[in-house]
A and B are shown apart, each in its own frame.
Chain A
Amino acid sequence: MDELAKNLAGIDLAIILVYMVGVLALGAFFGKYVHSAGDFFLAGKALPFWAVGMSIVVSDIGATDMMAGAGATYKYGIAQANFDWIGSVPATFIAAFVFIPYYWRAGVYTIPEFLGRRYNGIVQTIMAVIWLCFLTSMLAIMLWMSAKFLHDVTGLNQYLAVWLTVAIVGVYTVSGGLAAVVMTDVMQMIVMFVGAAALLFLCLWETGGWSGMREIIGGLGDETADHFKLLLPHDTTGPYPWTGIVFGLGIVLSTGYFAGNQAVVQRALGARSEWDAKAGMIFAGFLKLFIPILVFVPGLTARALHPDLPEPDSAMPTLVVDLLPPGLTGLMVAAFFAALMSSVDSYLNSCTTMFVSDVYGPLYRQVTRVALPQGQGLILGRVLTVVLIVVAGLTAPVIERFETIYVAIQTMLSLFQGPTLAILLLGILWSRTTGWGAVAGLVLGVSLTGLLSLLGGTLFAPADPAQLVKVFPSDDPFLFISFWSFLFSLAVTVIVSLLTPREPPEKLRGLVFGHVMKDDAAQAVLRERVNGS
Chain B
Amino acid sequence: MNWQSSFFALLTVAASADEEPPQPPYPWADEIRRVLAPPLKSLLEPLDTWLAGLPAWTGPVSATALFLAAVFWVLLLKREYVYLGAPDQAIWRDLRIWALLVTLPYVVIYWMF
Binding site for B on A (CB under 8 A): 60-62, 64-65, 67-69, 71-72, 78, 80, 83-87, 89-90, 93-94, 96-97, 101, 141, 145, 148-149, 228-235, 242-243, 245-246, 249-251, 253-254, 257, 261, 273-279, 282-283, 285-286, 289, 291, 295, 311, 313, 400, 403-404, 407, 410, 413-414, 417, 451, 454-455, 457, 459-463, 467-473, 476, 478, 519
Contacts and interface: CB of A to CB of B under 8 A. Distances in A.
Given A72-B9, A257-B2, A313-B16, A86 B110 contact: yes
Given A67-B13, A285-B102, A454-B29, A93 B84 contact: no
Interface of B: 1-14, 16-18, 21, 23, 25-26, 29-30, 32-33, 36-38, 40-41, 44, 48, 51-52, 54, 56, 58-60, 62-63, 66-67, 69-71, 73-74, 77, 81-87, 93, 95, 98-99, 101-103, 105-106, 109-110, 113
A399 to B, nearest CB: 10
B77 A246 contact: no
Contacts of B9: 64-65, 67-69, 71-72
Contact of A64 (B10, B21, B33): B10
Contact of B85 (A78, A90, A273, A467): A273
A242 B110 CA distance: 12
Contacts of B54: 234
Contacts of B16: 311, 313
Nearest to B111: A230
Contact of A455 (B33, B66, B86): B33
B1 A234 contact: no
A463 B95 contact: no
Contact of B95 (A148, A282, A460): A282
Nearest to B70: A90
B36 A455 contact: yes
A45 B17 CA distance: 42
Nearest to A455: B37
A454 B81 CA distance: 44
